[in-house]
Amino acid sequence: MNSELFRDDEINNNPNKEPCLKCGNLYSYVEVDNFVTIHWCMKCSVKYVQDNICSWSGNEKIDNFIKKRQEKVKVLFDFFEWIPYEKFEDIKQIGRGGFATICYAVWKNGILRDYDENDNSFYRYEEVVVLKILDNSKDITDDFLNEVNRIK
């Protein structure tokens, strides 16, 4: 899960009017380092990632929450996803609160960074992340999901 790497004013509304190869809707895209353009179709790209790339928690409430967040993503870098615990390594505790343990870890696969629509290839890069590991997290409350939803 990623904080917004780009402000709305950095997300271009496709000045070249390039359409998605599948549905014809216009892409949103971001230029990275003044030369790389990452295309993102809010309809086709999200659907493809949900169906082929995402892992799911198995908890209907959590999975539906994640899907709703994903459907609002304007660019690939902000894609919100469930990451199974086994995808992390070098986990180190850095704090403890009332109902959670805070750790940092290396996310082996890392955040989605690049997408080639022609062959549906996604590229990920290893990333250091902060984890909030919940005690007794079997019963996720709406209050908790509301807290997560406020995270940018």
Per-residue pLDDT for 126 more than 90? no
In a domain? residue 145: no
Domain that holds residue 58: 8-139
In a domain? residue 103: yes
CA distance 37 to 25: 17
Query: Per residue in 15-33, pLDDT tens?
Result: 567 788 788 887 776 666 6
In a domain? residue 55: yes
> Using alpha carbons only, what angle is made at residue 12 by residues 10 and 80, rounded to the nearest 5 degrees?
70
In a domain? residue 152: no
In a domain? residue 49: yes
* Domain total in the chain: 1
In the β-sheet with 88-96, what is the strand arrangement from edge to edge? Answer: 88-96, 100-116, 121-134
In a domain? residue 110: yes
Strand partners of residue 112: 124
For residue 90, the model assigns a pLDDT of 96
In a domain? residue 82: yes
Query: Per residue in 51-107, pLDDT tens?
Result: 888 889 888 888 998 998 888 877 777 788 888 889 999 999 999 987 789 999 999
Distance set, CA 92 to CA 3, 41, 102, 122, 131 (Å): 21, 37, 9, 28, 10
In a domain? residue 90: yes
